[in-house]
Structure 1
């Protein structure tokens, strides 16, 4: 194992804080011999959200959500110079998809945003907690506050 991170994965929720989390990850990557930075956003399948109780084809709506997420991810990532081939939108359960991606792409640091709520599960948020508990690499939770400033 290298003493430097070589591939940093930034998991974002596409809120206004996503750029702050990505900026922190980029600074870390630069300090680690310009490690590769990938950014990922996961969409939960609509069937999960509605428990399969809707008797209709949700494919076109899922495709619209996917397209919107890709556009929004590109806005965040392009602003920070992340090439399109390192921008990823995937469909599935967020923590599982982040773990899968990290394992397949030799990620050695996952960076996620967290909100300063109380209680351990609320401290990081459910996705961040799931990422932390199942990760096979280091995880950094970047605290994003109500004032929009990222703090560690």
Structure 2
């Protein structure tokens, strides 16, 4: 299934025997190419173009690496996953975000709001100064390290071409 949700789980939800977790809702809305708010509120994209959607900070999805040194806030809408994604990135001093190769032709853009970022992709390593942007292939293993003594913060955009 596109959603990654099993038929038995969907059946249990439909019969009121199970409550979907956020992860299940996320998978379903991504597969349906709708926003979670559309699912909950019963609206659909394009049904009301006179609105401004606000996602509060506590409702912004987050990802942390295993040791907790890297924190990504998912800023892009779920319907764009696998096409264009953007993240607020914060890496603790000495932390490292190791990434396996993404889909073929994937490309990342990392803009440093602070210093300390070291980006490695395809065997090439670059250090970013505050305000600089690194653009690099993400269809190969790559990593972002914080070489400074303070948290490194930035914005990452991931494009799937």
Give the shorter-chain TM-score range: under 0.3
Which structure would you say has the larger Rg? 2
Q: Which one has a larger percent strand, Structure 1 or Structure 2?
A: 2
Relative CO higher for 1 or 2, CA cutoff 8 Å, sep ≥ 6? Answer: 1
Q: Which one has a larger percent helix, Structure 1 or Structure 2?
A: 1
TM-score (norm 1): 0.26
TM-score (norm 2): 0.25
